[in-house]
């Protein structure tokens, strides 16, 4: 048998083996690369993973970048969105962190998320209501001694939590940034409201597996087909999620969120007096093609907050992804930095 035939047969055999084992090894490869890249980017941002024990005995996790020098700039506290792992948020905010190099930055891990997920969680304590999530943030900030004059930023669900914190603790918040803030019913799209009311959780952030994840990315988060990530990376992201959370974790989360959200369907209306009286500067950044948070409805926040202190900025983006391979976070970085530094 000639050498060329042996080489061809070897290549064919290798290709067959890769095809047979790819469903197992490609997701592992993707997960490993995603974790390595995430750790590398967090290291570049100088974000360190930390934890504290709260007064209720629970452990709260967070990322922190300590200010490297004496500065008069306020610390920045970031509250992530629903299903957004704090490490992922740290990576997404890398562009902003470069523009505010001297600030102390704290990225809070929401209850039931990432490091705070539990195998035996019943989702009833503290619960998934805005007040419950806000109370958890309050306990955390008191524990780390940060209760006076800091800047607060919330993304998506974190936007409503940040707003609620600001209304409950107005003297603590120097400036408030709301990135695609999620005010269910009052500022979410009618399409999203319909899906939520029908409890089709797997169509939302309770997806399971790569195919449902891709639909979530494209249908709700705004990823364009041409910007799709390589298959093994997509598989890696889905595998990483299954590693972080037990089966049906997000379905149970949504069930509790649905049970707890009834009082918050009129959050903005119910807190109208407090919102009008809030006197710290507010920046609202909305995505013009956002399928979850309605850009036109968010424009009304200009008049819900005191118009003298509230600025609305629209960005050419979906809820997470933007055209040409960009993200909402990248597009928002410069406007956010300018606002915080003003």
The DSSP annotation for 136-159 comes to HHHHHHHHTT--SSEEEEEETHHH
Burial of 125 (0-12, 13-18, 19+ CB in 10 A): exposed
How high is the pLDDT of residue 220?
A: 97
Q: Which residue has the tokens 């003297």?
A: 171
Residue 92 has pLDDT above 60, yes or no: yes
Q: What value does the mean pLDDT take over residues 102-131?
A: 89
Question: Can you give the C-alpha Rg of the chain in angstroms?
Answer: 21
How high is the pLDDT of residue 223?
A: 94
Spatial neighbors of 238 by CB under 8 A, at least 6 apart, are 27, 209, 210, 213
Which one of 3.90.1570.10, 3.40.50.300, 3.40.50.1820, 3.40.50.2300 gives the CATH number of domain 25-341? Answer: 3.40.50.1820
Strands (E), the chain: 48-53, 59-65, 76-79, 105-108, 150-155, 173-179, 282-287, 310-315
Q: Is 296 helix (H, G, I), strand (E, B) or coil?
A: helix
How high is the pLDDT of residue 17?
A: 40
Q: pTM for the complete prediction?
A: 0.90
Burial of 183 (0-12, 13-18, 19+ CB in 10 A): buried
Higher pLDDT: 214 or 36? It is 214
How high is the pLDDT of residue 312?
A: 97
Q: Name the band, by pLDDT with cuts 50, 70 and 90, for residue 2.
A: low
How high is the pLDDT of residue 237?
A: 85
How high is the pLDDT of residue 183?
A: 96
DSSP conformation letters of 244-274: HS-TTHHHHHHHHHHHH-GGGTTHHHHTHHH
Q: Name the band, by pLDDT with cuts 50, 70 and 90, for residue 68.
A: low
What percent of the chain lies above the pLDDT cut of 90? Answer: 70
Q: How many other C-beta atoms lie within 10 A of the C-beta of residue 324? A: 8
Residue 67 has pLDDT above 80, yes or no: no
Q: Name the band, by pLDDT with cuts 50, 70 and 90, for residue 93.
A: very high
Q: Which residue has the tokens 């019913």?
A: 185
Q: Which residue has the tokens 């109208």?
A: 272
How high is the pLDDT of residue 27?
A: 65
- Bridge partner residues of 173 (DSSP): 150
For the chain, the farthest-separated pair of C-alpha atoms sits apart, in whole angstroms, at: 87
Residue 14 has pLDDT above 50, yes or no: no
How high is the pLDDT of residue 26?
A: 54
Higher pLDDT: 31 or 99? It is 99
Cα gap 263→250, rounded to integer Å: 21
Cα gap 316→75, rounded to integer Å: 28
Q: What value does the mean pLDDT take over residues 5-16?
A: 46
pLDDT tens across 149-206, in order? 999 999 999 999 999 999 999 999 999 999 999 999 999 999 999 999 999 999 999 9
Cα gap 327→319, rounded to integer Å: 9
Q: Name the band, by pLDDT with cuts 50, 70 and 90, for residue 18.
A: very low
What percent of the chain lies above the pLDDT cut of 70? Answer: 90
- Per the prediction, the chain carries an average pLDDT of 89
Q: How many other C-beta atoms lie within 10 A of the C-beta of residue 129? A: 18
pLDDT tens across 322-336, in order? 999 999 999 999 999
pLDDT tens across 242-297, in order? 888 998 999 999 999 999 887 678 999 999 999 999 999 999 999 999 999 999 99
Domain parsing of the chain, residue ranges = 25-341
Cα gap 223→325, rounded to integer Å: 8
Helices (H) and strands (E) in the chain, counts: 14, 8
Q: What are phi and psi of 174, to 5 degrees?
A: -80, -50
């Amino acid at each position: 048998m000639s050498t060329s035939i042996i080489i061809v047969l070897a290549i064919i055999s290798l290709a067959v083996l890769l095809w047979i084992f790819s469903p197992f090894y490609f997701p592992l490869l993707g997960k490993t690369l995603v974790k390595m890249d995430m750790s590398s980017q967090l290291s570049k941002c100088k974000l360190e993973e930390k934890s504290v024990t709260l007064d209720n005995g629970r452990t709260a996790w967070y990322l922190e970048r300590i200010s490297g020098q004496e500065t008069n700039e306020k610390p920045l506290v970031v509250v992530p969105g629903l299903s957004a792992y704090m490490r992922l948020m740290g990576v997404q905010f890398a562009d902003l962190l470069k523009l505010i190099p001297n600030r102390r930055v704290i990225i809070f891990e929401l209850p039931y998320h990432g490091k705070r997920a539990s195998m035996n969680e019943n989702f009833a304590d503290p619960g998934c209501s805005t007040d419950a999530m806000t109370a958890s943030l309050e306990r955390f900030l008191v524990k780390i001694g940060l209760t006076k004059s800091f800047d607060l930023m919330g993304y998506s669900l974190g936007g409503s939590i940040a707003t609620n914190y600001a209304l409950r603790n107005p003297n603590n918040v120097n400036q408030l940034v709301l990135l695609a803030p999620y005010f269910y019913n009052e500022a979410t799209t009618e399409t999203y409201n319909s899906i939520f009311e029908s409890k089709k959780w797997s169509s939302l952030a309770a997806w399971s597996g790569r195919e449902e994840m891709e639909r979530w990315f494209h249908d709700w988060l705004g990823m364009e087909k041409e910007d799709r990530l390589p298959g093994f990376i997509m598989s890696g992201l889905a595998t990483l999620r299954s590693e972080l959370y037990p089966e049906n974790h997000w379905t149970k989360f949504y069930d509790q969120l649905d049970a707890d959200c009834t009082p918050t369907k009129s959050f903005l209306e119910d807190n109208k007096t407090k919102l009008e009286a809030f006197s710290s500067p507010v920046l609202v950044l909305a995505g013009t093609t956002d399928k979850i948070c309605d850009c036109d409805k968010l424009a009304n926040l200009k008049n819900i907050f005191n118009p003298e202190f509230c600025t609305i900025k629209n960005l050419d983006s979906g809820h997470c992804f933007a055209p040409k391979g960009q993200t909402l976070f990248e597009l928002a970085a410069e406007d956010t930095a300018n606002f915080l530094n003003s």
